[in-house]
Structure 1
Amino acid sequence: MKFLFTLVFISITLVAQENIKDSIVKIYTVAKIPNYNIPWNSKLRQASGSGSIINGNRILTNAHVVANETFIEVKRYGATKRYEAEVEFISHQVDLAILKVKDESFFKGTKSLELGSLPKIQQKITVYGFPMGGNALSVTTGVVSRVEHTRYVHSGELFLAIQIDAAINPGSSGGPAISDDKIVGVVMQQIKKSQNIGYLVPAEIIKHFLQDIQDGKCDGFAHLGLATQKMENKALRTLYKMPNELSGVKVMDISQKSPSYKFLKDGDILLSIDGHNIENDGSVEFMPEQFTSLIYYVDKKQVGESVELEILRDAKITKADVKLSNTADDDLLVDTLEHDTMPRYFIFGGYVFTPLTRNLLIHSRSNLLKLREAAGKWATPQKDEAVILLRVLADESNRGDHKFSLWMIDELNGKKFKDFREFKKMIEESKDRFIVLKNEDGVEVAIDRDKARSVESKILRRYSIKSSASE
């Protein structure tokens, strides 16, 4: 009888696995890859990834699988025909995307996979996908090693992630991680040169994304717009009149554009968030005896909702309800990593100008301190974007400036500017004979306005550039 039960159990398990396999999709993409060092250039790249069919005849995958795409095709497990697809919704923040297949017959006979809950440590999971090294579906098993906030490579932002020890490789991205026949995560990234250390976007984040797009647009994940310091040092706690029984973190910097700016000030101690105690190291308990970043309780809210903060100020405890209306890009001077867009640039007399982006910092591998410092600053109502002189296209008219590159610009003819658009407009509308650019150290670049305009078409032809500015 026991033997019969075992056979029945194995049979049920195999059937369940086959049903899951029928819902796994291979994704083929052609993408236009920008060149941030030469912003008028790009290249095409073909790649593949994985996905799964979920409710509503939709395919769930990673944003990085379909980022910058120009053409997408999908193929079901056990089939050979490819179907054209398109991105319906995408969140580069949390590396998730929803694809829509143009021919609905693609879904005939399929069953959508359901979303599960946050798995526990050492819980067994099975990962499905189409990694490099073959064309057939790959199925690997492992356990959950950690659940904590991790930096998502695709956006550079911190979000909750699941670390697993199941083998994953390029091409597995976007595939589902299954436990108890439900999706508990989507394969996202791995640590190179490591032994089976991979990361999943948790079902909790996926559910937030799916709820967000119900109104037809993706608002993203909210951002508090503040920096904090741990309060583990006894002297520091005494300085801020913090009793031993309390724990929390000190507010040390706030974005002027953040809604938090109206309620908080430097030196405030954040004691709790939405009723959850904040530890002295900035962590909160999100599962029994498991801790992660306090922003966990911000990430649970949709943009437009509010979060309650308990604050210690001048030895008195107060509370504030902060409406979460901003994302990180609203608060930062240099936005998070951008995708699905070509770099912006403007050429004037061979001088190439562009906004400072994190993509440029990565692609140029720049170690220039001023650029790195700018990437860590908040935006303000007066300064929403940093502008740099990317390079100088050599010509007799700009002799002496050919070595300028990745040079931060702070003033134009003695005036500040808010962003790249305003900077470009100031040059185009200037009536002065010289355009004088200046950095905070006092170094100046002077451009003869009339001469720069007269040589523009010649320089563009010489360097095979079609336009003096991006679209």
Structure 2
Amino acid sequence: MKLRILFLLFLLVFTVSSTESKNGKTSKFSVKKNSETKTSGTVSNRSDNGFEKSIVQIKVSYQEPDYISPWKKKNPRVRRGVGIVVNGNRILVPAQILQYSTLVEVKKFSSYTETKADISRTDSETNLALLTVEEKGFFEDLKPLEFQQKIVYPQQIAIYQLDNSGSIQSASGALLSLDLDLYPQGQVELPILDVNSAETLNGNGEVIVSDGKAAGILFDFTGDKNAGRAIPSFLIRKFLGLSGKSDRIAYKGFRHRPVTDSATKEFYGISGKNEGILVAEVLPGSSADGVLKAGDVILEFGGKKIDSKGYFEHSTYGKQVFSFLAHAGDEFGYEIGKTVPVLILRDKKKMEMDLPLKPFPYSAVRIPHRDPSNRPDYYLNGGFLFLELSENYLLEWGKDWRSRVDKKLLYLYDYHKFRSLGEPQSRIVLLSQVIPDESNNGYHDIFGRILESADGISVNSIQDLMRKVRESKKDTVSLKLDDGTEVVLDKKEMAKANSRIGAQYKIPASAMGERK
């Protein structure tokens, strides 16, 4: 009897609690839990600072290329980001959010609809791009944002973006340090800000503000580490032509390695305990081509002493890699068209050289680094699919691509990404796969092999391969792969095979045979 009474009392309490919940009432525990969730990392609404007139929302529709089946694209997707209004009725955004774009739209604080925007300029090195809007009056109620000339860290910062209602959302964070690294699509090491924030951020262009001016643009953020990276304002000013005489980025022209062991120091004649780095590779057509040689020891660069790990002491930013002087050295007078004085050891003798600064020599690239072009170059004929090796091709293997791809391809990517001095311009051509057909029986298992030659002559690009097949006066073309396999292309049979393959695998005729 007592058990029945206790059960009825429990049921009554549970029913009352459920009724209160349905009527909008919550328990003290629930209120406390919601309060904790609300303050644990969401952004606050601050619209009284005027930044809503300088920040816009960006919507990018895009389609990524398919490097496994390059005649088609992957499914359409959408990414969103933040843009900054700058002088000249333009909008500044991180270039990475525009990659593979098919449509770009912007929305400002005073509008509930998106407006089409056009890409007017992109720079893969600084990871910056500019948009224009043709709609009349779009910029009338907007105000350009100013940028800091120098960065101070460590310091507390505010991070701004615009929500769907047109209200400014702000998050708190801190600038921690400044280092050199590559931007997502770049080849030149440039300054990058390290940012910390415990709040929810995307890393798609949120604006970092200090003392009422933009100190940087967030382009990367990892929530579980509360860590992000940002483009510093002085690099943005260069891109916009607000500092220096050139808005392009210079490249020092060589790769280097530290010299820390005594045996190497003795071999190259380095007398100081903590000085000098070794020139490891000179890129053809670069600033260093014809000036420096592999094996030179750099003691001073741009009038600054370089330690054995490649650092110099910057008066504002502390220890920085010496590449800073060549790649972002406007404050020292070093930019494209200028020369950098270099003190080197060559054959154990000190020499003074002048390094004329030039842009990065993209003609020296053999394996493109996340090439932002919309379509890979390929050649599909008779079921044989040929591609040029690129980082995008390797990335098709997923996050663990380095452990999954062929080790020879990984070796080439790590150590032969650029051509050597004296070598002609070239790319690495792969026989990526063989689409099965009766005409190519016996070759179906070939996958990702390097094409070494066609009729005994080396192949240096997809266009070169197509030309060799077209101009061959024989009915067959003999291809040699890196594993010793010989593939024979029957030119007459390939045309018939293309018709069958197109019908069976739904591949358009325009994707097969020679393409311009």
Match of 1:339 among 358, 369, 372: 372
The 5-angstrom pairing of residues 390-405 of structure 1 reads 390-405=432-447
Once the two structures are superposed, what CA deviation does each residue of 1:51-89 show, in whole Å capped at 9, x if it has no partner?
111111111111112222111111112531322111111
The question of whether the paired residues in 2 share the 8 Å contact of 1:222 and 1:328 is answered with no
Identity %: 24
Aligned to 1:263: 291
Matched, 1:153 2:184: yes
Deviation at 1:27, TM superposition (A): 0.6
Comparing 206-215 with 256-265, greater Cα deviation is found at 206-215
d(CA) in 1 for partners of 2:357, 2:187:
20
Distance 1:470 1:158, change over 3 A: farther
Task: Describe the SS at the equivalent of 1:442.
Answer: coil
Deviation at 1:383, TM superposition (A): 4.1
Aligned to 2:495: 453
The question of whether the paired residues in 2 share the 8 Å contact of 1:16 and 1:181 is answered with no
d(CA) in 1 for partners of 2:79, 2:317:
41
Matched, 1:71 2:103: yes
Aligned to 2:409: 371
The question of whether the paired residues in 2 share the 8 Å contact of 1:32 and 1:69 is answered with yes
Comparing 325-334 with 97-106, greater Cα deviation is found at 325-334
d(CA) in 1 for partners of 2:440, 2:315:
62
Task: Describe the SS at the equivalent of 2:392.
Answer: helix
Match of 1:286 among 314, 320, 330: 314
Distance 1:326 1:446, change over 3 A: farther
The 5-angstrom pairing of residues 60-459 of structure 1 reads 60-130=92-162, 137-155=168-186, 158-167=189-198, 171-191=202-222, 193-194=224-225, 196-211=226-241, 220-244=248-272, 247-288=275-316, 290-300=318-328, 301-327=334-360, 329-364=362-397, 365=401, 366-375=404-413, 376-377=415-416, 378-380=418-420, 381-459=423-501
d(CA) in 2 for partners of 1:396, 1:26:
53
d(CA) in 2 for partners of 1:456, 1:170:
49
Distance 1:173 1:73, change over 3 A: same
Comparing 302-311 with 117-126, greater Cα deviation is found at 302-311
Task: Describe the SS at the equivalent of 1:428.
Answer: helix
d(CA) in 1 for partners of 2:169, 2:178:
24
Please, which runs of 5 or more residues in structure 2 have no aligned partner?
1-44, 329-333
**Structure number with bigger Rg:** 2
Comparing 293-302 with 88-97, greater Cα deviation is found at 293-302
d(CA) in 2 for partners of 1:282, 1:453:
57
Aligned to 1:462: 504
Task: Describe the SS at the equivalent of 1:264.
Answer: coil
Aligned to 2:72: 41
The question of whether the paired residues in 1 share the 8 Å contact of 2:61 and 2:77 is answered with yes
Distance 1:167 1:82, change over 3 A: farther
Matched letter for residue 141 of structure 2: G
Comparing 461-470 with 231-240, greater Cα deviation is found at 461-470
The question of whether the paired residues in 1 share the 8 Å contact of 2:270 and 2:276 is answered with no
The question of whether the paired residues in 2 share the 8 Å contact of 1:168 and 1:198 is answered with no
d(CA) in 1 for partners of 2:155, 2:456:
62
d(CA) in 2 for partners of 1:274, 1:171:
38
Distance 1:334 1:328, change over 3 A: farther
Once the two structures are superposed, what CA deviation does each residue of 1:86-105 show, in whole Å capped at 9, x if it has no partner?
11111122211111111241
Once the two structures are superposed, what CA deviation does each residue of 1:412-452 show, in whole Å capped at 9, x if it has no partner?
11111332221221122212333222234433222223222
Q: TM-score, normalised by structure 1?
A: 0.88
Q: How many residues align?
A: 454
The question of whether the paired residues in 2 share the 8 Å contact of 1:60 and 1:174 is answered with no
Matched letter for residue 37 of structure 1: I
Matched letter for residue 204 of structure 2: S
Matched letter for residue 247 of structure 1: E
Please, which runs of 5 or more residues in structure 1 have no aligned partner?
1-13
The question of whether the paired residues in 2 share the 8 Å contact of 1:73 and 1:84 is answered with yes
Distance 1:148 1:372, change over 3 A: same
d(CA) in 1 for partners of 2:502, 2:339:
51
The question of whether the paired residues in 2 share the 8 Å contact of 1:93 and 1:220 is answered with no
Distance 1:174 1:78, change over 3 A: same
The question of whether the paired residues in 2 share the 8 Å contact of 1:127 and 1:178 is answered with yes
